[in-house]
Each structure stands twice: as C-alpha cells, then as structure tokens.
Amino acid sequence: MRWSTTVALASALGVAACNQPASTQSAPPPAPAAPAAARSSEAEHANLPFVGRVWRKTTRGSPLGSIVVFLPDRTLLMGSCVETYRLSEWGMAGDHIRWLEDSPIPIEAEVSMPSKDQLLLKIVGQDEVESYAPAPVPYVCPEMR
C-alpha cells in the first residue's frame, strides 16, 4: 500500500471508531489502586526534613538562582534564573535520592543534612558536593551581569 492510502485508511478507521454509540464503546479499565507499600512510602517521603521546602543552590559556579523543591508527591522541581524549570520524579533508596533528567539512567546522590537549614547532595560518581540553603521569602532572581 502506498503511504497516502495507509494514512487515509487509518484516519477512516479512527473516525469510524469515534462515531460508535456510547453503549458499544468500552470504558477504560479502572486504574489499579496504589499498593499499600507505595502509599506508606509516599508518607515516609513527605516526612523527610528536606521535602516541601525551596532549596537555593549555594555551590560556587552554579547558575544564578538555581533551586530544587522535593515535593511530597515525589515530584522534583528544578530551575534557575537562566534555565527553564524541569519536573522530574524522585525517590529514596536508603540515604540516596534518585531522579531522572535527560537520559533514561537515573541520577543518584547521597543526601545529608548537617543542620535543618543545610542540604548536601553528593552525586554518585562525582567528587563535588552540591550545597543548598532554604530560599528566603520573598526571593527574586538576581540581575544578570
């Protein structure tokens, strides 16, 4: 079959399927309930001292205004004054945290908090330790030079 014929046939089948009476269309299966282990894990994540706070990166040489926010629903918000924001999923494995960025290989870091207002992330395989402090409120990105 030629490409245009294949596309036309696929489009016609799609339109025909959409025009079926509601009684003949099958409803999508209900979403499975989250296992008890996943629910308790989310509750444990929510109780970690760095979760739910906006952390400003204090490591020398990092982009201006770099922030991370570990949300209780396991969403990680990352951004800076010079880069757009990113949303990723994060999780814990012992004293390590993991998240995905641009590759399918997760980034893993050892987490430590020497004080309630200092967060340190040591990325596995790197020598540098990233340091963070709570972002003051209000906070505005610094002017670019």
Cα–Cα dist 91/51, whole Å: 11
DSSP secondary structure letter of residue 60: T
Query: Is the pLDDT assigned to residue 37 strictly greater than 80?
Result: no
Query: pLDDT by residue (tens digit) across 59-118?
Result: 998 888 899 999 999 999 999 998 889 999 999 988 899 998 888 889 999 999 999 999
Say what the pLDDT of residue 45 is: 65
Among residues 83, 75, 70, 89, the alpha carbon closest in space to that of 132 is found at 70
